[in-house]
Structure 1
Amino acid sequence: MKHIGAVILHEGRLMLVPTIFFFVCFNVLVLTITFMDPARGFSIVSHGAATVGALIVGKAVLIADKLPFFNRYPHKPLIYNTLWKAALYIAITTLIRIAEALLSAATNEYGFATGVAEEAAHFTWGRFAAIQMWLAILFLVYTGFRELANQIG
Structure 2
Amino acid sequence: MSDAASLSRRERAVSGLKRLGIIFLYFWGLLAVSALHKSLILSESGIHYRQGFAVVNALVLAKIVFVAEELKVGERYEREPLVYAMALKAAVYSVLLVTFEILEEIVVGHFRGKDLAESLSEVGGGTPFGILTTTLLLFFALLPFFGFRELCQVVGEPELHRLLFVKRARLRIVDED
> Shared topology, TM-score over 0.5?
yes
Per-residue deviation, 1:79: 1.7
Structure 1 counterpart of 2:95:
91
Aligned pairs for 1:41-56 within 5 A: 41-43=48-50, 46-47=51-52, 49-56=53-60
What is the TM-score of this pair, normalised by structure 1?
A: 0.73
Q: Which runs of 5+ in 1 are unaligned?
A: none
Structure 1 counterpart of 2:26:
21
1:65-96: CA deviation from partner (whole Å, max 9, x where unpaired): 23345211222211222122111111112212
State the alpha-carbon separation in 2 of the partners of residues 151 and 130 from structure 1. 31
Structure 1 counterpart of 2:38:
33
Per-residue deviation, 1:142: 0.8
Structure 1 counterpart of 2:143:
140
**Greater shift after overlay, 57-66 or 4-13?**
4-13
Cα gap change, 1:135 to 1:59, in 2 (>3 Å): same
State the alpha-carbon separation in 1 of the partners of residues 131 and 24 from structure 2. 23
Contact 2:95 2:135 in 1 (8 A): no
Identity rate of aligned residues, in percent? Answer: 22
Per-residue deviation, 1:128: 4.7
Q: Which has the higher contact order (CA 8 A, sep 6+)?
A: 1
Contact 1:86 1:136 in 2 (8 A): yes
- Corresponding residue SS for 1:20: helix
What is the TM-score of this pair, normalised by structure 2?
A: 0.65
Q: CA RMSD in A?
A: 3.0
Q: Which runs of 5+ in 2 are unaligned?
A: 157-177
- Corresponding residue SS for 1:11: helix
AA at the equivalent of 1:41: H
1:43-64: CA deviation from partner (whole Å, max 9, x where unpaired): 1xx33x2212222333333322
**Which of residues 64, 70, 78 is equivalent to 2:68?**
64
Which protein is bigger by CA-based radius of gyration? 2
Cα gap change, 1:83 to 1:36, in 2 (>3 Å): same
Aligned length: 145
Contact 2:28 2:58 in 1 (8 A): yes
